[in-house]
Amino acid sequence: MLDFLQQEIPLPNWIDSGVNWLTEHWSGLFSILQTVGEAVMNFTTNTLSAVPPLLMMVLLTVAAFFVFNRKLGFAFFTLIGLLFIYNQGMWADLMNTVTLVIISSLVAIVIGVPLGILMSKSETIQNIVKPILDFMQTMPGFVYLIPAVAFFGIGMVPGVFASVIFSLPPTVRMTNLGIRSISTELVETSDSFGDTAWQRLFKLDLPMAKENIFLRIVPDGLLVTRHLSSHQPAH
């Protein structure tokens, strides 16, 4: 018994060989993802950077004004912040970060929302997925960079990979929660009019859960970026 406790389980070795196996046998897939991902990211960053900084600042300020219920304060601080970044010579970095946030949020939505929907419709799926999400969320975001770098090498793509893994759990969770928290009466109402499963999804579930989903994704994208920014490999 004691013997067993003393004897170290060779977990690190297993993980090593697991990662090695993945990098060896799946390298084709990884390099495709790497290439495509890099191309998409570069395109996005280039497009963003092609916009003259001053024009971009005006656009973002106007957008902030309308997004935040026409509050002048928000628009004002947006402008000040952007000017400051520009002043510090970090405009290009900002565009890189914005790309990272946009792409990883999109990927998180594309994967996370359907998963959340499935989870809300079935207890079994919920019971399986939930612990996995918990596990994913206990790790700090940059931890995912390590395998990501192993798979994709250095660049923007491992950043997106890590961001997605980090922001996926909240997306799935909020979608699931958003749908599950719709009042029984509304569900009954929709059912009582003879809805199909798809009608229910598009006419009731998603409109009701929409805010829950989107209010979390963007902040989470930003949060993970903040986590990553101090650890991200140079690009």
Cα 174 to Cα 170: distance, rounded to the nearest angstrom: 6
Told to check if 38 binds other proteins by CB under 8 A, we report: no
Least gap, CB of 208 to other proteins (angstroms): 7
**Binding segment for other proteins among 157-165, 168-176, 179-187, 219-227 (CB under 8 A)?**
179-187
Of the residues 23, 126, 137, 190, which one makes contact with other proteins according to CB under 8 A = 190
Stretch that binds other proteins, among 24-32, 69-77, 157-165, 181-189 (CB under 8 A): 181-189
Interaction of residue 195 with other proteins, rule CB under 8 A: yes
Site for other proteins, residues 204 to 233, rule: CB under 8 A: 204, 207-208
Indicate the residue among 69 and 230 with the shorter CB distance to other proteins. Answer: 69
Q: What is the three-state SS of the chain?
A: CHHHHHCCCCHHHHHHHHHHHHHHHCHHHHHHHHHHHHHHHHHHHHHHHHCCHHHHHHHHHHHHHHHCCCCHHHHHHHHHHHHHHHHCCCHHHHHHHHHHHHHHHHHHHHHHHHHHHHHHHCHHHHHHHHHHHHHHHHCCHHHHHHHHHHHHCCCHHHHHHHHHHHHHHHHHHHHHHHHHCCCHHHHHHHHHCCCCHHHHHHHHHHHHHHHHHHHHHHHHHHHHHHHHHCCCCCC
What lies within 8 Å, CB to CB, of 212 at 6+ separation is 174, 175, 177, 178, 181
Q: How far is the CB of 84 from other proteins (least distance, A)?
A: 38
**89 Rama sector, left if φ>0, alpha if ψ -120 to 50, beta otherwise:** left
Q: Which of 32, 36, 92, 186 binds other proteins (CB under 8 A)?
A: 186
- Is residue 189 a contact point for other proteins (CB under 8 A)? yes
Q: Taking CB under 8 A as the rule, does residue 164 contact other proteins?
A: no
Q: Does 199 bind other proteins (CB under 8 A)?
A: yes
Pick the piece of the chain touching other proteins (CB under 8 A) from 56-64, 85-93, 97-105, 186-194: 186-194
Stretch that binds other proteins, among 5-13, 26-34, 88-96, 185-193 (CB under 8 A): 185-193
Among 7, 69, 138, 196, binds other proteins (CB under 8 A): 196
State the residue for tokens 């790497």.
34
Is residue 134 involved in binding other proteins (CB under 8 A)?
Answer: no
Which of residues 102, 203, 222, 233 is near other proteins by CB under 8 A? 203
Give the binding site for other proteins (CB under 8 A).
Answer: 183, 185-186, 188-196, 199, 203-204, 207-208
